[in-house]
Amino acid sequence: MISATQKLRVGVIGAGKHGSRYARHIQDDVEGLTLAAICRRSEEGRVLAGQLGCAWSANWRELVASPEIDCIVAALPPTLNLSVALACAQSGKPLLLEKPMAVNVAEAKEIRDCFARKNLGLTIGQTLRYNALINLLRERLPMVGSLCSLSANQRLEPTSMAWLDQPELAGAGISFHTAVHVFDAIRFITGKEIVRVMARTRCLHSKILEDHLIVLLELDDGLLGTVDCSKIGSGRSGRFELIGELGQLHGDQVHHQLECIQGGQRLSLACGEQVSTIVPLLEDWCRFLRGERENPIPPEVGLAAVQVCEACLRSAAKKGWEEV
pLDDT tens per residue across span 102-161: 999 999 999 999 999 999 999 999 999 999 999 999 999 999 999 999 999 999 999 988
pLDDT at 275 over 90: no
Residue 274 above 90 pLDDT? no
Instruction: Give, in degrees to the nearest 5, the angle at Cα 309 between 105 and 250.
Output: 140
pLDDT at res. 4:
62
Mean pLDDT of 281-307: 97
Are β-strands 239-244 and 194-202 bridged in parallel, bridged antiparallel, or unpaired? unpaired
For 160-178, write each residue's pLDDT tens digit. 889 999 999 999 999 999 9
In whole angstroms, what is the distance from residue 276 CA to residue 286 CA?
Answer: 16
Highest mean pLDDT among 14-23, 47-56, 239-248: 239-248
The residue among 45 and 175 whose pLDDT is bigger is 175
Residue 242: which of 232, 229, 253 has the closest Cα?
Answer: 253
Question: How is 227-263 classified by DSSP, letter by letter?
Answer: EEEEE-SS--B-EEEEEETTEEEEEETTTTEEEEEET
Query: Who's near 42: CB < 8 A, 6+ residues apart?
Result: none
pLDDT of 1 over the 60 cut: no
Q: Which of 43-52, 278-287, 304-313 has the lowest mean pLDDT?
A: 43-52
Q: What is the mean pLDDT of the chain?
A: 95
**2 — pLDDT class (breaks 50, 70, 90):** low
pLDDT category at 42 given cuts 50, 70, 90 is confident
Task: Compute the average pLDDT of residues 287-306.
Answer: 97
- The end-to-end CA distance of the chain, in Å, is 34
Q: The pTM is what?
A: 0.94
- The domain defined by 129-275+307-323 folds into Dihydrodipicolinate Reductase; domain 2 (3.30.360)
Q: Is the pLDDT of residue 3 over 70?
A: no
pLDDT digits (tens, 9 = 90+) for 114-126: 999 999 999 999 9
Q: Name the CA dihedral angle for 205, 209, 212, 217, rounded to a multiple of 10 degrees.
A: 180
Could you say which of 3.90.550.10, 3.40.50.720, 1.10.40.60, 3.40.50.300 is the CATH number of the domain covering 8-127+277-298?
3.40.50.720
* SS3 state at 33: strand
Please report which confidence band the pLDDT of residue 41 belongs to, taking 50, 70 and 90 as the band edges: confident
The domain spans of the chain are: 8-127+277-298, 129-275+307-323
